[in-house]
Structure 1
Amino acid sequence: MTTLSQFRKAALALPETEEGTHFGMIAFSVRGKGFASLDKDGYVQLQLSDERAEQAVAAHRTGERLTRTSKPIGFRVPLADINGKDLNALVADAWLTRAPKRVVASYLSAQYSPGDGDLPAAIGKPATRALAGQGLTTLEQVATWTERDLLALHGLGPRAIRILTEELHNRKMSLAG
């Protein structure tokens, strides 16, 4: 069972995070953009990408999509029903979704060491940071993405894709799709 203090610690550990209230809820924001809150019923509400929210719903049976005016904007789950490790990861993902790009890049470069995965150094630091920002630190993880989706990431260009494709081929793997 995760507590409010654990939730607070996870959110405030992220750069430039501020705690406040929003419509009576405990809320956390980065540069004025809300990314996580706890409502009066004990539900953690997280602003997440559609893909990440779907993963969270699949992983947590008591969780559900968070919507605003019928538009999906994230994920919500009872605080008591999520373990600390999962909550930490989801809070970080919500922060990554809402934080300014420069703040994210600075945070990721401090968090990620090239020795953490097997991505080829030849793809360059911007591409490595872009992949790490999506949680992709190994070639096996990269292989689950399509070329189109990878090219949509800021910092990842055709040269990096070519290098990744060649390295995947050398390891008898390929990009999805």
Structure 2
Amino acid sequence: MTTLAQLRKAALALPEVTEGTHFGMVAFAVRDKGFASVTRDGQVQLRLTSTDTDAAIDAHASGERLERNGKPIGFRIVLADINGKDLNALVRAAWAHRAPKRLANDLAAAEAGADQPDCALPAAIGRPATRALLGAGWDTLEKIATHSQAELLDLHGVGPKAVRILTEELTDRGLAFREP
């Protein structure tokens, strides 16, 4: 069962996302373009391409096409009916659909950099943490040191193990996380 907290973590881990409300619903936007919201009765609504919507409907029988004025605009499903991994992928697809293309391309390039041997982050933190940090634009230990441990843990993919390894690396270089 997926929760609003998990949705929030996945959405806010993406670049330039803000949380607010839209018609009384918790909503997430990238550069003022909404891509995800949660209704009062616990349904997550995601703005997706028609191809992504069709795939989501095929994968989740309890979901449905989201329409506005008779025009399909995305996918809706009860939050509790979707697992976290699938929700994360759909949130990412919705973000990419609504984000400016250059921003989406920059994130994709940063994430591809996680596979490059010249990546400045320690490999021991794992690929999910590396992708999350690169996606947030934190590609060096110096940039990571300008954030608190809590900010890192708020990124989807960064867990206690990655924070412990980064703490050790920062200490070895005479750096430390910013105090909250």
1:49 paired with 2:37, answer no
CA deviations on 1:5-39 (whole Å, 9 max, x unpaired) are 00000000000000000000000000000000000
Q: State the Cα distance separating 1:102 from its structure 2 match.
A: 1.4
Q: How far 1:101 sits from its partner (Å)?
A: 1.2
Q: Distance in 2 between matches of 1:9 and 1:114?
A: 21
Larger RCO, structures 1/2 (Cα 8 Å, 6+ apart): 2
Superposed displacement of residue 41, structure 1 = 1.1
Q: What is the number of equivalent residue pairs in this alignment? A: 116
Structure 1 stretches lacking a partner, 5+ long: 117-177
The Cα shift of 1:115 comes to 5.3
TM-score (norm 1): 0.64
Q: Any idea what the Cα deviations from partners look like across 1:78-130, whole Å, max 9, x if unmatched? A: 000000000000000000000011111111110114959xxxxxxxxxxxxxx
Query: Is 1:87 paired with 2:80?
Result: no
Q: Give secondary structure in 2 for the equivalent of 1:105.
A: helix
User: Match for 1:106: what amino acid?
Assistant: D
Normalising by structure 2, we get a TM-score of 0.63
Residues 31-110 of structure 1 correspond to what in structure 2 (within 5 A)? Answer: 31-110=31-110
Number of the residue aligned with 1:29 = 29
- Residue 73 of structure 1: how far off its partner (Å): 0.2
Deviations 1:134-157 (A, max 9, x none): xxxxxxxxxxxxxxxxxxxxxxxx
Distance 1:40 1:47 in 2: 18
Q: Which residue of 1 aligns with 2:12?
A: 12
Q: Which amino acid aligns with 1:87?
A: L
- Whichever residue aligns with residue 33 of structure 1, its letter is K
Q: Give identity over the alignment, percent.
A: 61
Give the aligned residue type for 2:35: F
CA distance in 2, matches of 1:114, 1:19: 27
